[in-house]
Structure 1
Amino acid sequence: MSADDTVQLVRSAQQGSTASFALLFDRHYAGMLAVARRLLGGGPDAEDACQDAAITAFSRIGELRDPSAARSWLHTIVRNNCRTMLRDRLPVPVGVAGENLLASELDDPVARIERSAMRDWVWHGLRQLSPAAQTVALLRYFTENNSYEQIAALCGTPVGTVRSRLSEARRQLAEVLPRVHDDRHGEAVALRTERRQEAATILSAVPNGAALTKVAARWAEDMTFWWPGGIQTIGREPVFDVMRRDYQSGVSLTITGVLAGSGVTIWESTFTNPPEDPYHCPPGATWLLREKEGLVREMRLLHTPRPARP
């Protein structure tokens, strides 16, 4: 494949041609897989690293400034995926592009994808997936706690199920994204904005003294909450009891990201502990909210791993 052909395919893909991206990826896949196998050996992990790289590249092809560098860009994404897999912490694909190849390297990666011209298209496509595939795809590609083990713990499923659902999510995305490229995508943006505001209101309810029944009106009174470690409680009040105790201990909670899909919302948050008790709470958490008939019926919480104590 000549350099001119690569440049033409990249530019066509950046203008929205999914066929051009598919051809570009197919022509580079053998080299990407070779990179992955050198680092991970044969087996499904190497293939997973390449498939995750495809989703990353597809959603961020518009940010590749030098089309002739597509091969090294794709290989860098795969290499970074493999290295983080070897460290037992899988990557957030929206933030693993190659050095000196992105438009804004000093920015937060999530902020970059929020500004990407393709973001509405990608979010809209994700909402078309089946519920199980959509949830694992959102957790895998757009959250911090995104290893197979962490996703399994958050979803309450075996690791093997997470792997199979991600495989299904990739298959569905390959079919869905070309179809929705020209659709109207404003609904996905509006829903994410609405859910972000809702999250901020709910999680600030305790320090602001807001009434639980008002700020959490969409939470079913008999909702099920799964805490880290598998403990289960029923109702909204136990969640706010924990928030109150943390707040009274000097802990503050900040929303850092919100994802919204069809029947599912994902929050990411950080905890700031008081100076006198720096290990009171873990660094952060991922919250998985599952809805039915407009109400949140189930929530699951996963804490970000604590750093080692000095």
Structure 2
Amino acid sequence: MINYDSIYGPAIKQFIDMKTKLGFRYTFGKLILSQIDQFALQREEKTTGITKEFAQKWGEERGNESERYRYDRIRYLAQFSSYLCDLGNSSYIPRLPRHPKNTFIPYIYSQKEVHALFKAADELRFVKRNANSCLICMPALLRLLYCTGVRIGEALAMTDEDVNLIEKYLRVKDSKNGKERIIPISTSLASVCKEYRHYRDQLPSKDRSDYFFMNTNGNKCGKGVAGWFKKCLVKAGIRYTGRNHGPRIHDLRHTFAVTSLASMAEAGVDLYASLPILSNYLGHGSIGATNHYVRLTANMYPDLIKDIDMTCLNVFPKPKNYEAN
């Protein structure tokens, strides 16, 4: 539980409560607002509204942060200050700096690389005994991510009740946009999950959790997944270029989106019909978030959508921000 102890504390709590009731998870917002609260506490602010001096000091560049992080710091202060104005408090709303350019392009795995990743996951072995290892779930987890496009956080948050292997569907509750959705799965993926669950249930865990993907100690899988995935990249011969540059485990979701669009185009499904389908399947907040994949698909599979009028293609915005998680 985060405490808000400055003069802005009560208003910050109300603001966060309003955001969460509107359906926002607001995890990063809570972090920034707690920093604003501490900053106000250190400065011993006495006014109920944000002053221009406070906003300017808060918005000053810091040597250890990116342009994007500074932009977000100022953006959350502006949102909170606007809320204070709505409450009747005179509050200075800072002007946002120019939005930082995002040159990130997701990594799209080839079919050969995907098969190599699966093979690498199947061949993972313990170097030494580790009761908290997530190794046992890696073969099924990677296949599920690639075949459904769910986010890694959504997959790890699934319980046994959320994975219906008889009727063949997944229920995603802990989603980025706070929306619950049902995802059908193939017979082959259901078989993989059944095999994983068979061996998982033989683990000698006394206090087993309800999570579908768990470590050898019976608890929810967490940070260990990233380490095992890097080992899979090495074994598969896929060059890892470093943190935040990938290839990342989240790029399996991007790969799913691009290959799904390509498959629907190959099957003759109209682009304007396939986008809403894919958007709902991925759990995007809007079709705009799915539009980025159109150009990726056009670049990777030019022959599949060569008949689409390029004028029509241009109604979709050029990529600015790819989903990071």
TM-score, normalising length: structure 2: 0.24
Which has the larger strand fraction? 1
So what's the TM-score if we normalise by structure 1? 0.25
Higher helix share: 1
Higher RCO (CA-CA < 8 Å; seq separation 6+): 2
